[in-house]
């Protein structure tokens, strides 16, 4: 019999990534926001508007976003230009330049789609269920959709079984990325996080599902217990939270940030 620690850190991630494929039915393809279906970045199609999608970035202003450290948008370290929201390069340190930004609103169950563009060697993340309740020296904690140049950034080789690579649930579950889901560094990619009302969660990369898990399940608790997050009781189980775009000292751009709340 394998020891419990081995099961929690090696077997469970694989089970979560593959054995849950029969879980809740996906939203219809017509409801899925992708870059190829939009007439232009930072816009919604008529069908998306009817289905309840809302833009979280208008392409021109910081409306709806603020610093994770205060009530206003950062005065430096972030740039809005050419329809892109960009965290600027500094020295590669976490939340040490302009700092992370969060949505002013909080969300419970949602379908969140975002386009991102990595520069060579870049590291960033999209973090959800952020409450700001925990005291941290770097980024606020939450469930993180990892954004990373897997080939160049050393973080890709850390963690367990690749759980710090692009589109993974950071430090918890590795993304299983078929070749068809991957685009070169410098190209625009589409990330997507779906949180169902029953706490079933899925990550997508360019339209391909790369992992899924059950938030708050015994398997999830086992993963947290073996991760860097074990020091925070009830990690990742807040009923609602902000969405966060991470400043990790590398240039990463975002656009077409859109969300549909699920009930």
User: Quick one: 188 exposed, middle or buried, by C-beta within 10 A (0-12, 13-18, 19+)?
Assistant: middle
Domains and CATH numbers, the chain: 4-261 (2.60.120.560)
- Number of other CB atoms surrounding residue 62 within 10 Å: 16
SS3 at position 53? coil
Binned average pLDDT, 10 residues per bin, the chain of 263 residues: 43 44 42 54 97 98 97 96 96 80 98 98 98 90 98 96 98 96 97 98 98 98 96 95 96 98 97
SS3 at position 125? strand
The predicted pLDDT at position 1 comes to 45
The predicted pLDDT at position 39 comes to 65
Closest to 147 measured CA to CA, from 233, 42, 250, 31: 250
The predicted pLDDT at position 138 comes to 86
- Max alpha carbon distance in the chain (Å)? 57
State pTM to two decimals: 0.85
């Amino acid at each position: 019999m394998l020891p419990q620690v081995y099961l929690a850190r090696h077997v469970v991630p694989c089970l979560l990534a593959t054995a849950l494929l029969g879980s809740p039915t996906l939203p219809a393809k017509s409801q899925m926001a992708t870059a190829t279906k939009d007439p232009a970045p930072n816009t919604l199609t008529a069908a998306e508007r009817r289905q309840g999608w809302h833009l979280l970035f208008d392409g021109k202003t910081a409306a709806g976003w603020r610093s994770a450290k205060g009530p206003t948008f950062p005065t430096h370290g972030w740039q809005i230009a050419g329809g892109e929201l960009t965290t600027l390069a500094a020295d590669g340190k976490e939340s040490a330049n302009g700092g992370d930004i969060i949505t002013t609103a909080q969300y419970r169950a949602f379908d969140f789609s975002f386009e991102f563009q990595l520069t060579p060697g870049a590291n960033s993340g999209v973090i959800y269920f952020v409450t700001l309740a925990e005291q941290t020296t770097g980024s606020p904690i939450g469930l993180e959709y990892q954004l990373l140049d897997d080939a160049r950034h050393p973080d890709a080789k850390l963690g367990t079984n690749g759980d710090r690579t692009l589109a993974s649930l950071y430090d918890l579950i590795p993304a299983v990325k078929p070749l068809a889901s991957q685009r070169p560094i410098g190209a625009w990619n589409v990330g997507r996080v779906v949180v169902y009302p029953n706490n079933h969660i899925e990550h997508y990369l360019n339209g391909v599902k790369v992992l899924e898990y059950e938030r708050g399940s015994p398997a999830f608790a086992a993963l947290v217990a073996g991760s860097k997050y074990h020091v925070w009781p009830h990690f990742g189980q807040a009923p609602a939270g902000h969405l966060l775009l991470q400043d990790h000292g590398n240039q990463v751009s975002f656009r077409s940030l859109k969300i549909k709340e699920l009930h």
